[in-house]
Structure 1
Amino acid sequence: MAEPRHLALPSFARRPSVREEVANVLRGAIVSGEMRPGELYSAAGLAERFGISATPVREAMLDLGQQGLVEVVRNKGYRVTVLSEADLDQITQIRQLLEPTATAEAVPHVTDEELVALRGLAAAIVDAAAEGDLVSYINADREFHLRLLTAAGNPRLVRIVADLRAQTRLYGLSALVASGRLVDSAQEHVEMCDLIAAGDAKKLKKLMTTHLGHTRREWAGRPPE
């Protein structure tokens, strides 16, 4: 079955852990709006785009289905799950309750080695924003935040946030790329690293609260209130 439109997705030929990598890319495509609710996607069509067999794509879709991101349409393929504005508001509200506090608590536990890794991810986020590569942007952003939260020492919270982030929809990112403003938002990750290095948990919590506020405003394509 032919795909509804071209998707800016990379090839995974001759790479290890294909199932996980495909799931990560498809998750990023769903969150960023590259893959839209209501459109059907076939494992065979996506596999052809990736340059791999259909099996790891089907397995990745099973993983995404367990997270509530896609639903199986029998004998047709997979459809991205539809979320209402109320759903997205509730997801953001829960994230606002969890992430700023947990991030602040993580500050004293971030090692020098971890900070180097976080700075590398922050740079990757900025680069992806500058290049307009939304899937890479989403995936680097996800890894940055989950890695930072992991330092707080609460794996249950990390799993909850990972699920919430996967269900977030950021359809306004393309407009931000076109206007050049996504790079400004991406730079907030660099600022977070600087605050971690300075040991300033209070300012980091405030910045994280502001950062998450973008999720339901400009990143989501919602007009200013």
Structure 2
Amino acid sequence: MEPTGTDSPIPGAEAAVRTAAGPERPPLPVRPRSLPERHSLRAQVLAALRDALASGELAPGETYSAPALAERYGVSATPVREAMQRLAGEGVVEILPNRGFRIAGRSPEDMAELAEVRAALEVPAVLRLARSLPPERWEALRPLAEATVRAATLGDRAAYAEADRVFHREILRLTGNRHLVSVAEDLHRKTQCPVPDGTPPGTAELLADALEHTALLDALRSGDLGGAERLAREHLTRPPYGT
């Protein structure tokens, strides 16, 4: 019978191949466990720094050293530096050689321009979705909108910033366009930076903003394209607080 792909290998064949190829090499070393843990730690520090920026704990114009922040969060300075480098790439902080990092903040003009770009990307995408998605797809996003309302009711600016970002991201994910989601999320993070000398939003402002999420879902679920466009555009282009 001819051998098939499921037949057992010829006895001694593997040893013959190893002998012909030279002495058997030791297996490659296993990647150290510290690598994924370090990556996770860096992500946690980055998230903590974003929360501190959103809450106003890290103030625009102030300078912070990596060792001091590391002590605050109970980590080494390395993940703090890595996270700050990431924020510097987003324009959130400025690197001061031999001193640390200064929180850049954004001017009201910067925030208005960023909001305009966000609206130019997100509003048409939402309207395209509104013409094709059934009502139940919009209703599935209701828990995310309600999460923004809960955070706003508590006056928790950091929690609200995260819930707000997730809500908008999940709407855009319905488009299936990963690049659109990535660009829009980057813009969204930039609009969540503090405004120098601005007044941080209070509970009332956060709640008004959050309720627009539920109103937008109501319009989309009912097929009110005109109302949805108006709500989305006003929501995205509102001037930053404190201006």
Give the TM-score normalised by structure 2.
0.70
Aligned AA for 1:221? G
What is the deviation of 1:114?
7.5
Q: Deviations over 1:187-212 (max 9, x none)?
A: 11122233333344442222111112
Q: Is the Cα–Cα contact under 8 Å of residues 139 and 217 in structure 2 kept in the other structure?
A: yes
Which deviates more, 72-81 or 53-62?
53-62
Q: Is the Cα–Cα contact under 8 Å of residues 138 and 221 in structure 2 kept in the other structure?
A: no
Counterpart CA distance in 1 for 2:83 and 2:77 is 10
Q: Which residue of 2 aligns with 1:176?
A: 202
Q: 1:27 aligns with which of 44, 50, 55?
A: 50
Root-mean-square deviation (CA, aligned residues, Å) is 2.9
Q: Is the Cα–Cα contact under 8 Å of residues 65 and 101 in structure 2 kept in the other structure?
A: yes
Equivalent runs, 1:60-99 vs 2, <5 Å = 60-99=83-122
Q: Which residue of 2 aligns with 1:121?
A: 144
Q: Is the Cα–Cα contact under 8 Å of residues 37 and 81 in structure 1 kept in the other structure?
A: yes
Change beyond 3 A, Cα 1:121–1:22: farther
Counterpart CA distance in 2 for 1:53 and 1:121 is 34
Aligned length: 203
What is the deviation of 1:175?
4.5
Give the TM-score normalised by structure 1.
0.75
Which deviates more, 132-141 or 85-94?
85-94
Three-state SS of the structure 2 residue aligned to 1:17 is helix
Change beyond 3 A, Cα 1:61–1:96: same
Counterpart CA distance in 1 for 2:220 and 2:102 is 40
Change beyond 3 A, Cα 1:183–1:86: closer
What is the deviation of 1:112?
5.0
Q: Deviations over 1:12-69 (max 9, x none)?
A: xx9x933224323423443554422210122233233333333322222122122221
Q: Is the Cα–Cα contact under 8 Å of residues 70 and 80 in structure 2 kept in the other structure?
A: yes
What is the deviation of 1:213?
3.0
Three-state SS of the structure 2 residue aligned to 1:71 is strand
Q: Which runs of 5+ in 2 are unaligned?
A: 1-36
Q: Which runs of 5+ in 1 are unaligned?
A: 1-13
Sequence identity percentage:
39
Counterpart CA distance in 2 for 1:157 and 1:170 is 24
